[in-house]
Amino acid sequence: MQNYELPTLENLVRATIPENQVRIFHTADIQINAAGVWKHREYEYRYMLRLMTIRAIESGANIVVIPGDIFERARTTENEKQIFNDWIHDLLDTGFIIIATAGNHDLQQKNFLYDDGTGDNRTAIDSIELCHTAIKHPNFYYLQKSGFYPMEIHGRQYMIANWSHKTLYSDFIEDYNPWDNAEKSAKVKALSPSVPVIELYHNPLYDCQDWDGSVVKGNNDTRVHSNEFKSGHIALLGDIHIPAIQRNDIGTVWSYPSSPVMRNFGEGDYYENSVLISDRLNRHGYNLVDIIFNDGEVKPTYDIKFYGLPQYNALHTIDLKKLDKEIVDSFKLVNASKFVNN
């Protein structure tokens, strides 16, 4: 496979945005997977992460938020961690504040006991924590527990309401919903409305839709309803690989940014009247979140938009059983004109 030249960060111009506005680059579900049979994808991940850095700079954003699933597996290789570390250094070197949380893939084996070779059991920690510890930069935040985190960024006050991932392997499952702590949530609700409250969450929501419009597989009845995002401000999510931006009944605007890199063969593919439809070019990307500060003690205005990323590779699985006989009979690798690419 021929590699595209890795884009440079030199001579980039950060867009100018109004003084009363802050822009967040929201991404999730990168799921770096460049080991074993997928080792050949290392350059693809490096290319796409560099492209995201360029897009973030040129957009005028100065905060990057990553709500989980940075890695495909909890037990990542040193090379996979280095891919992530190099991206984080790119962001830090170009002036970004980074706020990250873990997803289900990051925590698959958190707190897993293993023999370190001496006969003693040791507790494994997730790869994001290892990377965060190694980088040790004051502008790189890794939030692991549910709760409220006050932050001052570029002279403005923010409150981060973090939902730790609801997973069997998490220490913090009893404190899953930060709003369940009545005393702490009351203090957050008593804040000036001018302080943005940013909720971070990684999991499917109730009735979340898949690529073909069906409800995402799993136990839908046990999922969190969007009205449980009680801030009335914004909730930045991860887990679902399809973009979505909606507002709940309380006024909280919540969004999934999709996955920036196509993870699986056939991700984004579906069949319509026996024709294979691919949404890969339109629906893998990131969100830009604008916070517009108003005068006085007034809640900020929020605007969220999705932007697609051109994919380095396209991965497809063709299910011949879902195609009609005429298409199957005419199908040739050298001529796939009957397959539609949206």
Dump pLDDT digits (tens) for 277-302. 666 567 899 999 999 999 889 999 99
Distance of CA 39 to the CA centre of its chain: 22
Average pLDDT, the chain: 85
The count of other CB atoms within 10 Å of the CB of residue 236 is 27
Q: What are phi and psi of 184, to 5 degrees?
A: -70, -40
Alpha-carbon dihedral of residues 306, 310, 312, 318, nearest 10 degrees? 90
Q: pLDDT tens digit string along 192-250?
A: 999 999 999 999 999 998 877 889 988 999 899 999 999 999 999 999 998 999 999 99
Distance of CA 224 to the CA centre of its chain: 18
When mean pLDDT is compared across 82-86, 164-168, 253-257, the lowest value belongs to: 164-168
When mean pLDDT is compared across 27-31, 311-315, 320-324, the lowest value belongs to: 320-324
Q: What percent of the chain has pLDDT over 70?
A: 78
pTM summary value: 0.87
Token readout for 147 is 């709760």
Residues 230, 250: Cα–Cα separation, whole Å: 7
Give 71 or 172, the one with higher predicted confidence. Answer: 71
Whether residue 160 is predicted with pLDDT greater than 90 in this model: the reply is yes
**What is the arithmetic mean of pLDDT over 97-109?**
87
Alpha-carbon dihedral of residues 108, 109, 111, 116, nearest 10 degrees? -170
Are 315 and 264 in contact by the 8 Å Cβ rule? The answer is yes
